[in-house]
Structure 1
Amino acid sequence: MPEVSLRFYEELNDFLPQALRKRSFTCSYTPKQPIKQLIENHGVPHTEVEVILVNGESVAFDYLLQPGDRISVYPVFESMDVTPLLRLRPKPLRALRFIADAHLGKLARYLRLLGFDCLFFNDAGDSELARNSVAQRRVLLTRDRGLLMHRVITHGCFVHATEPKRQLLEIVKRLQLEGVYNPFSRCMECNGQLAAVEKKRIEEQLPPRVREHHSDFWRCDACGRIYWKGSHYREMRSFIDSLVPSETKQ
């Protein structure tokens, strides 16, 4: 069978067996095999790849492999201008929205805390997640690399961390979300948007101590849940500030 030389760079190595990390290696392929298939055969989801160079030239996922090709595969670049090179997906989503896999419920809540539109269904299957990601133009967040290999998915992130707060920090850094926070604008429970509401309109729904000590309230336009700046608010504000200390306080 024909062979090519292949190397993955930076965090893409996390998907490889230890013996293949951070070095070039030779692998065989079947005739007329697209390069996307070769990459995913090594366990790297196509959504994690930003640039592919073959013999020094940029190619797309449908490039057909040729004997002796020297292939370099790169992840998303955070600090390097790669605009002269081929981007493998359409332009970034105009409005950054997310959909989280079933095992990322706490991450979904944290993203909502920062004001991001993030869907989460604890019983959604892979097909439903993929369908909603594409139809609603949402970035799919998952720790299931096989899910990100679905052909239809163009925008997705493999979440490396296992602890929810570290997962949030990972997504914030990777997608450079620091400048687009809108904290406390979404319901952490249902993802609905919050709007200020007059105290007199909700007074009967408030616990006595809250009614006595607070005057500013917000209500979810979807589930009706009521929010106010109690001790829990201060804890969450502190958590947000710990992500980016210079973030403007509300």
Structure 2
Amino acid sequence: MDCVTERDARLRIAAELRMFLPVSRRREWQRVTTDDTSTLGHHVESVGVPLTEAGPMILGGRGVRPSYLLAPGDVVEVHAMPRPQPLPAGPRFLLDVHLGTLARRLRLIGVDAAYHNDMDDPALVVQANEEHRVLLTQDRGLLRRRALWLGAYVRGSRPADQLRDVLERFAPPLTPWTRCTSCNGVLVPVSKQEVEPVLEAGTRRSYDAYGRCRDCGQVYWQGAHSDSLEEIVRTAQVWTNNAKIQHG
């Protein structure tokens, strides 16, 4: 049993946030020792919860900010970030190097999702800050970087679960088939004649409607994989609409 001291304060961690706690301490109540200098935000992160995932913090029935200086005897309720999460700017994202499939799926449904498979953590933070993008990652240490403008932990190991988590958390506007899944550029309609030189004979015979990325030049058409892609789009629209209804 933990030893209680007169310097202790207690944090009540919401169920949705306990996954971030060490297994040996994965319980509702967390005891922390105050020291006259450490903020509430510091103590929340010290028990394992990234501040990007923490929502309202309530002390004595009133909200307090992460900068609040925690005092002995304080009892603070730490809630999860509300969903959909309001953003100070339009929903634009930057994905960590391990989330390439999620990036392509976000682009498929028209969400602005920057991604590089060779970018280190400091460079990710710089781009996220300069372009005001929400950094999506499963690296908890990256979310604790003080310089980061805004980040979010992506839950789930399968791309479908990850996509659902992002859509339910942010409920971004969806504009399917408007972005290049390779580079995130915007697709523009082009005539068959414009792209005919790069098409194979079978494609030229079978399809008449084409789009081209204005950044990388890749050409798109409704191909053999369209059924599976359309299912991803339909499911994404359902998840987003449900999130808006349930939490709107």
Within 5 Å, which residues of 2 pair with 1:31-180?
31-78=36-83, 92-177=87-172, 180=173
CA offset at residue 186 of structure 1?
0.4
The yes-or-no answer on 1:4 pairing with 2:25 is: no
Read off the aligned partner of 2:88 and give its amino acid letter.
Answer: L
Cα pair distance change 1:247/1:63, threshold 3 Å: closer
Alignment partner of 1:220 out of 213, 216, 237: 213
Give yes or no for contact 2:101–2:159 (8 Å, CA) kept in 1: yes
Q: What is the aligned residue count? A: 236
Pairwise CA distance, 1:102:
0.6
Report SS of the residue matched to 2:58.
strand
Q: Tell me how far 1:19 sits from its aligned partner.
A: 4.8
Deviating more after overlay: 18-27 vs 124-133: 18-27
* Counterpart in the other structure of 2:19: 14
Counterpart amino acid of residue 7 in structure 1: R
Cα drift, residue 22 of structure 1: 4.5
TM-score normalized by the length of structure 1: 0.88
Structure 2 Cα separation of the partners of residues 245 and 208 of structure 1: 37
> Is the Cα–Cα contact under 8 Å of residues 34 and 71 in structure 2 kept in the other structure?
no
CA contact (8 A) 1:47 1:153 kept: no
AA partner of residue 53 (structure 1): I
Contact 1:8–1:73, Cα closer than 8 Å, also in 2? yes
SS at match of 2:231: helix
Gaps of 5+ in 1: 80-88
Distance (whole Å) between structure 2 residues aligned to residue 246 and residue 12 of structure 1:
22
Query: 1:180-221: CA deviations, max 9, x gaps?
Result: 210110000011110000111111111101111111100000
Would the aligned equivalents of 1:101 and 1:140 in 2 still touch at CA under 8 Å?
A: yes
1:191 aligned partner, one-letter code: N
Deviation at 1:246, TM superposition (A): 9.1
Q: 1:231 aligns to what SS in structure 2?
A: coil
Q: Percentage identity across aligned positions?
A: 33
What amino acid is aligned across from residue 180 of structure 2 in structure 1?
Answer: C
Runs of 4+ that moved beyond 3 A: 18-22, 243-248
* Structure 2, unaligned runs of 5 or more: 242-248
- Determine the C-alpha separation between the residues in 1 that align with 2:156 and 2:240: 23
C-alpha distance in structure 1 between counterparts of 2:119 and 2:193, whole Å: 39
Aligned equivalents of 1:214, 1:22: Cα separation in 2:
58
Letter in 2 for 1:95: G
Secondary structure of 2:104's aligned partner: helix
Greater relative contact order, per chain length (Cα 8 Å cut-off, separation 6+): 2
Assess if the C-alpha contact under 8 Å between 1:8 and 1:21 holds in 2: no
User: Within 2, Cα distance between the matches of 1:159 and 1:242?
Assistant: 18
Q: 1:183 aligns with which of 176, 180, 185?
A: 176
